[in-house]
Structure 1
């Protein structure tokens, strides 16, 4: 290559680089939403919970299920995080978004390619070139070269596209974290419901033992002429009613174990050996850390995802506006061509071309205008979706706090009712054995005790579930700090 040609190419490239770097960026810049809605405070009715030291403003733990102090639940959470298929699909969507970001970013860089061709050609002896005296003998023709093109991003079209792709990539990251929160909550809910059903099954079996004992007692009293057939029939009916509860409870138990197996990505009955043995419902923690209410917008990935989607829609406006402006590019080609293969390395076989290209949209039938209007409307919709997401988050947190407080008080009162019903049944049973009370008193006391046990068990389960719902509403289940550090490095 001659010094003159080399200097020409260098000067042209330098000039276009300066023009590109000085280019402006069309469209609105994204500004993080800082409306008053993100600064809302929880209603004052939750203050009593803080005053009673039931909740603390300590940072919401990432692994919030540790507050239950249940080793099986901790293990299930770890296995679900590794094996859940929904999480694995979310991870693949992240990789797809990462690849799309790379594709979009490549538009800011030049494209370079090489080409080579060979052909054997001959002109027609009766053609117009032969009439002009051109030789018609067959000959070889060789070509070898490099092509390059670069669209100068003078108006920021490619930069806005990369900006939108980056925000879209961030949205998929938050999608996965939202799926992680939902998964951890679902594992905990299913596990607690399983322990609740197992406790209810144990209550039914205990009451069946009592019913069996009463059946024997009434049958003995009837044989001795102390009681009537009515008492025996009533005892048998109560016995059958309790037995009828067992198959349905067993079915629910197996359904919940299978639901946990599905969350682990396992086949049905894969966890039966581990979970079939009944264990008590984990005790409620005495103090629950929920963090500061002002941190909610940073704790919930669905709010962060809505913000990222708003960013995507804002960047799309810039892309649509840049389409109204001309596109300027630079194309170049350098190579060699010759009729003989041995001549390709000759300096005289060189060829080159370099120059700008300009595309100016003149008439598009209103397509560009409508595309801009479409993206502006989508940006407004994304802003409304963000506002709705934040509002929904506050409602969920407020409802979860209210439900947790109500369940806490409800459980305490039911515990008193259960203790009193238990004392009443024991007194009725002793009176019946001593012959100072009829069987209806015992039957009524037993039914009330069974109902009280079931209510207390349901309350224990619901109280534990209210803790799960509270942490799900608060965005617990992912490490915010670690995630943001990884996001920066990505």
Structure 2
């Protein structure tokens, strides 16, 4: 009897599963994915020439060679290279961005799980006792207590007829790419900020060195003037002017020291270090790195693929496009296969018997009939967001070209300014030489000497500022070009940095590093 019952149940279940399988197969063959398919807009991006305007007298030579992901090595400064490597390992903001990538990766895994069926198991035990005066007792049910045991499996699987799951996963994948590219964009910003603060620090060191040298010159002049005044060769006017010049030069030193210390703390913050952590490492005076003879800027057509902010805007457009498909699929019925099987009995010893088995299987259909216009408005909302994302992409590309063009123009401008300031500095030195000789020969007054000295000092300081600004212009250019990340090795599944790098990157040997910089190695 039990075997006949079991065979009948098995045969019935088999026939039903075949029918459901055929129905699912037909549905999958006839189903379609609603919503627009995403097409990358990169190929239609506007292109310009990567060259400065012709209205600058001194153009900086550029080439179409590929941009190195470690463009800061063009400065040939081992200390800067070490700081860049350590910043990639220790910068806290970059670690936060990496954490967001992991969150987005987990969200993508959660969304992708909707492709697969859901299976769960459950079991229960209840002790039941009905009232003697209940309707069930009146119908003859036993009113004394009894046990009820149940155990089984539940399964469900949504059939993705209209691409609801597909578009949802597509949007999650695009969102994951957005977080990865946001991390890469910050990596470019971090590289530029480390280089910018380091070069500014070296420029301030140079200013401080020039100021201290000028102080020594002013002290020497004051000693000479006091000596000639004592011998009656000059008046107290010359002594007062020399004293005033010394005081003016000395007054510049405290502010420069403050700026120097601030720059060291900025670098320490970028490296995830405490204040003053880099003081001992950087305090020694090192010359400002010089610019390379030729600057590689890459190929104009590749700019859209070099800048992660452009690729990020494209991924955001992809995400918005996928959202339209999700909104459109909500207008169509959603079919879920639901199944349940297990055993139930009043005695626990009967649970192992096939006579205690049960099952249920069949489709569950959800079809929105009236939602008060919500679905239509959600579709309009996603379409409006997609238009906004498309405009944002165009704006990002246009902004990228403007930044590159401005950076090229700024570099050429700084080159021209430096050359002219250098000519002015050489001329002021010659003027100072003749002013001093005329004063010594009695053909000139001391005011002319002070004026010539002030011109030389100001010109030398301006020349140093121009050299610093020229290096900063190169940093701005490479940030605009998207330098600082390896496009060819852009694997979203890879970590931000290799774990083995931490063992190979450490604080540099300052003496050896400074020797390399001074020797131009």
Match of 2:210 in 1: 203
C-alpha displacement of 1:46: 4.1
Deviations 1:119-143 (A, max 9, x none): 1111111111111111011111111
| Conservation of the 8 A alpha-carbon contact between 2:20 and 2:362 | no
Deviations 1:128-178 (A, max 9, x none): 111111101111111100000111110001100000000110111110000
Equivalent residues in 2 for 1:39-50 (5 A)?
39-42=46-49, 46=53
| Conservation of the 8 A alpha-carbon contact between 1:16 and 1:152 | no
Equivalent residues in 2 for 1:326-405 (5 A)?
326-405=333-412
Whether 1:187 and 2:194 are equivalent positions in the alignment is yes
Deviates more, 1:84-93 or 1:5-14: 5-14
C-alpha distance in 1 between matches for 2:426 and 2:79: 30
C-alpha spacing 1:110/1:9, structure 2 compared with 1 (3 Å):
farther
C-alpha spacing 1:13/1:53, structure 2 compared with 1 (3 Å):
farther
Deviates more, 1:355-364 or 1:413-422: 413-422
C-alpha distance in 2 between matches for 1:20 and 1:80: 54
C-alpha distance in 1 between matches for 2:441 and 2:280: 46
C-alpha displacement of 1:209: 0.4
C-alpha distance in 2 between matches for 1:275 and 1:339: 82
C-alpha distance in 1 between matches for 2:205 and 2:130: 92
Whether 1:233 and 2:240 are equivalent positions in the alignment is yes
Deviations 1:199-241 (A, max 9, x none): 0000100100010011111111111111111111111111010
Match of 1:254 in 2: 261
| Conservation of the 8 A alpha-carbon contact between 2:52 and 2:408 | no
Deviations 1:413-454 (A, max 9, x none): 111211222232233334434444321111101110111011
Match of 1:75 in 2: 82
Aligned residues: 485
2:479 aligned residue (454, 469, 472): 472
Deviates more, 1:349-358 or 1:19-28: 19-28
C-alpha distance in 2 between matches for 1:486 and 1:126: 67
C-alpha distance in 1 between matches for 2:179 and 2:477: 24
Deviations 1:376-420 (A, max 9, x none): 000000000000000000000000000011111111111121122
Deviations 1:239-272 (A, max 9, x none): 0101110000000000000000000011100000
Equivalent residues in 2 for 1:266-345 (5 A)?
266-345=273-352
C-alpha distance in 2 between matches for 1:47 and 1:437: 45
Whether 1:31 and 2:30 are equivalent positions in the alignment is no
C-alpha distance in 1 between matches for 2:242 and 2:350: 111
C-alpha distance in 1 between matches for 2:420 and 2:406: 21
Whether 1:65 and 2:72 are equivalent positions in the alignment is yes
Match of 2:513 in 1: none
Equivalent residues in 2 for 1:415-434 (5 A)?
415-434=422-441
Whether 1:245 and 2:252 are equivalent positions in the alignment is yes
SS of the aligned residue for 1:280 comes to coil
Match of 1:93 in 2: 100
Q: What value does the CA root-mean-square deviation take over the aligned residues?
A: 1.8
C-alpha spacing 1:348/1:398, structure 2 compared with 1 (3 Å):
same
C-alpha distance in 2 between matches for 1:39 and 1:314: 22
Whether 1:54 and 2:61 are equivalent positions in the alignment is yes
Q: Which runs of 5+ in 1 are unaligned?
A: none
C-alpha spacing 1:77/1:13, structure 2 compared with 1 (3 Å):
farther
C-alpha displacement of 1:298: 0.5
Deviates more, 1:371-380 or 1:26-35: 26-35
C-alpha displacement of 1:52: 6.2
1:412 aligned residue (387, 406, 419): 419
| Conservation of the 8 A alpha-carbon contact between 1:112 and 1:147 | yes
Whether 1:457 and 2:473 are equivalent positions in the alignment is no
C-alpha distance in 2 between matches for 1:205 and 1:214: 14
Match of 2:510 in 1: none
Whether 1:138 and 2:164 are equivalent positions in the alignment is no
| Conservation of the 8 A alpha-carbon contact between 1:20 and 1:153 | no
Match of 2:452 in 1: 445
| Conservation of the 8 A alpha-carbon contact between 2:67 and 2:297 | yes
SS of the aligned residue for 1:120 comes to strand
TM-score (norm 2): 0.90
TM-score (norm 1): 0.96
| Conservation of the 8 A alpha-carbon contact between 2:51 and 2:62 | no
| Conservation of the 8 A alpha-carbon contact between 2:207 and 2:461 | yes
C-alpha distance in 1 between matches for 2:473 and 2:60: 17
C-alpha distance in 2 between matches for 1:480 and 1:101: 23
Deviates more, 1:330-339 or 1:99-108: 99-108
Deviations 1:340-389 (A, max 9, x none): 11111011110100011111101101100000000000000000000000
C-alpha spacing 1:9/1:196, structure 2 compared with 1 (3 Å):
farther
C-alpha distance in 2 between matches for 1:430 and 1:148: 101
